[in-house]
Amino acid sequence: MLTRRNGVVLGLALLLTIGSVIGFGAAQGPPTFQAADKLFDQKNYAEAAGVYGALVEAQAEDWHRAAERLIMCKLRLSLFGEALEAAADYVARTEGTRQEARAERLTGHLYMLLPHWGTRSGGEFHRGVREQGTFLHSHQYDKKQAVAHMERARDLYARQDLAVGLPIEEGAKWLEERIECTFDLVNLLSRFGIYDDEPQFWYRWWGERDEFLAETAGEDDFDEG
């Protein structure tokens, strides 16, 4: 039976609980770069990714750096699919702005940094994972995606309207990035072919498309191996 004294005790306990929850929320506060960078430096990449993601969603000042750090966290965690998703989201968020060229260039590089192998299981390609299923190489697919993003970046860097109004120093940096992007594209186009310093790419059935391997792999641009 609930007595008056018990009711008072329960009421106080409830107030203390609510107060602690409110206090905890206030202590947490909004996401900050300081908190995210601290977690990143401590190699707590999963938690850091959460904070960087919140900064991107909030469009915080210098959120572009948060977007890049988010991708880096996913890479450190070997979550390659999520890294690509974060990069695609970054490109979408920068559409129509000067930063889109940089986001496209970053994504182009990302495709060449990832492991170019994995397992197709359950109709999906699991990058960098060996498990039950069909083991595949993704060199040609990754190269095609990388080149497409880098070509888009090159075209955006060439648009004069995006550079209008830039201070002299930033304008010079924009021109420098444009030149570097062109060389990046040339480098990508020469990858995984006879000019690579790797014997596995010296032969046509590795460096170029091989229709027999493509058919056995079951999907374009993936080679069974």
Note down pLDDT in tens along the chain; length 225 residues. 445 555 544 444 444 444 443 443 434 578 899 999 999 999 999 999 999 999 999 998 889 999 999 999 999 999 999 999 999 999 999 999 999 999 999 999 999 999 999 999 888 899 999 989 899 989 889 999 999 999 999 999 998 777 778 888 888 999 999 999 999 999 999 888 766 666 555 443 444 444 444 444 445 666 665
Half-sphere exposure of 181 (CA within 13 A, CB side): 27
User: If phi over 0 gives left and psi between -120 and 50 gives alpha, with beta otherwise, what is residue 165?
Assistant: left
**Tokens representing residue 44 in the block:** 């707590």
The tokens describing 39, both together, are 């977690």
Check: CB of residue 174 under 8 Å from CB of residue 161: no
pLDDT at residue 146, rounded to an integer: 96
Burial label, 136 (beta-carbon count in 10 A; 0-12, 13-18, 19+): buried
Kindly report the pTM of this predicted structure: 0.76
At 126 the three-state DSSP class reads strand
Domain boundaries, the chain: 32-77, 97-225
- Copy the structure tokens of residue 98: 């000067």
**Among residues 111, 107, 131, which one has the least CA distance to residue 119?**
131
